[in-house]
Structure 1
Amino acid sequence: MFEANEVLRVLALLRQAGCEVWIAGGWGVDALVGEVTREHRDLDLVHRVEQEPLLIGTLEAAGFGERPDAQPGRPVRFVMADPGGHELDLHPLLFGPDGSAVQHADTRGGTFSYPADAFVTGVIGGVRVPCLSVTQQIHFHQGYDPADRDRHDMARLREAFGVTTHF
């Protein structure tokens, strides 16, 4: 499991190295809500594609190694894990001059779009952290059959922000 103190440790490590990352997924929802609402098996991070060599080098120096078996794999995403079982699900973003970004969605040229206002801050363990917006979280939780954790996350956003989600 990925605990809040480990999230903060990874973020501090990457920030000190000069890497810009934003929390997505379940931890991103918890950051928006401002409290840990469930257990997390990994930490989803989006990052600047041009910083990827620095990001990988920094994580490798901290004991993380890439898991080549992660699907769908590059260029969409890749996974790194440490010997303690902490998994990072890493998503490279190509930023435009206006602050918006795109991410590969598949190997056929599809993309996910991130408007400039998708990059916000939340709170984990009393610490302000960079994360994806409520709107972006809802957007990414569409178009697939949700797991129980996805239903949980969307329920937390509905309760905290009075938004509508599709499940």
Structure 2
Amino acid sequence: MLQETDVLEVLHLLETAGATAWVDGGWGVDALVGETTRAHSDLDLVVLLDELPLVRTTLTEAGFTEVLRDWLPTALAVADGAGREIDLHPITGLRSEGGYQLLPGGERFHYPAPTIGTIGGHDVWCVDAATQVQCHIGYEATEKDRRDMARLHATTGVALPEEYTSLPPGH
């Protein structure tokens, strides 16, 4: 599990190295909500594809040496000896403009320029609310996903698709 201090440490290391990164996934939702709402098994980061060698070197030097998944150019997941996991989502583009993540099959997913969120009382770059919702479409939502999206909607007012506004079967 990653704590707020872990997230802030990784972001600081990458920034100090000159790498661009913004928070996605569960930590990204929490950044937009402005508080840590649950335990997180990993940290999802959007990074620039052309900075990926710098990101990998920086994370390796910080102990993230185990490659869990290498699905490049779509994603790369690494872990350290303590079991902390980071899932990298490389994009072509710039932080100021956003960019495209190459998906399997040649499709592309657009990440707009990041917005500011808060983790542990510190401002961080993170994926905006509408894109967070887009990232939660196209698969069977878990209870964790439903709670994350409900919190995101309650805090930001972002519109949710029907699969997140209707009750799951059996409820």
In 2, distance between residues paired with 1:62 and 1:96? 25
Deviations 1:19-47 (CA, angstroms, capped at 9, x unpaired)? 11000000000000100011100000010
Number of positions where the alignment pairs a residue of Structure 1 with one of Structure 2: 162
- Give the 3 Å change call, closer, same or farther, for CA 17–96 of structure 1 in structure 2: closer
Q: Which residue of 1 aligns with 2:81?
A: 83
Q: TM-score, normalising length from structure 2? A: 0.90
How far is 1:3 from its partner? 0.6
Q: What is the Cα deviation at residue 104 of structure 1?
A: 1.2
Shift of 1:97: 10
**Could you tell me which residue of structure 1 aligns to residue 110 of structure 2?**
113
* Distance (whole Å) between structure 1 residues aligned to residue 103 and residue 147 of structure 2: 24
1:102-129, Cα deviation, whole Å (9 max, x unpaired): 00121x201101234xx11100010000
**Conservation of the 8 A alpha-carbon contact between 1:78 and 1:91:** yes
Shift >4 Å, 4+ stretches = none
The residue number in structure 2 matching 1:154 is 149
User: What is the alpha-carbon distance in structure 2 between the residues aligned to residue 97 and residue 135 of structure 1?
Assistant: 17
Aligned residue for 1:37, secondary structure, equals coil
Give CA deviations for 1:53-104 in whole Å, capped at 9, x if unaligned: 111001111111142x527x12210111010000000010000698130001
Tell whether the 8 Å contact from 2:20 to 2:95 is kept in structure 1 after alignment. Answer: no
Correspondence for 1:5: 5
Structure 2 equivalent of residue 15 of structure 1:
15
- Secondary structure at the residue paired with 1:93? strand
**CA RMSD between the two structures:** 1.6
1:74 equivalenced with 2:72 (yes/no): yes
CA contact (8 A) 2:92 2:100 kept: yes
Whole-angstrom distance in 1 between the partners of 2:126 and 2:141 = 21
Q: TM-score with structure 1 length normalisation? A: 0.92
**Change in 2 beyond 3 A, CA 1:80/1:158:** same
Cα separation, 1, equivalents of 2:97 and 2:33: 24
Where structure 1 has 5 or more consecutive residues not aligned to the other structure, the ranges are none
Alpha-carbon separation, structure 2, partners of 1:49 and 1:109: 16
Partner of 1:140: 135
Equivalent pair of 1:66/1:78 in contact (CA under 8 Å): no
Change in CA separation of 1:94 and 1:157 when aligned onto 2, cut-off 3 Å? same
Matched residues in 2 for 1:97 and 1:126: separation? 22
Q: Give the SS at the match of 1:145.
A: coil
- Pick one of 118, 121, 125 that aligns with 1:123: 118
> How much identity, in percent, do the aligned residues show?
44
- Between stretches 141-150 and 125-134, larger displacement belongs to 141-150
Q: 5+ unaligned residues in a row in structure 2: which ranges?
A: 165-171
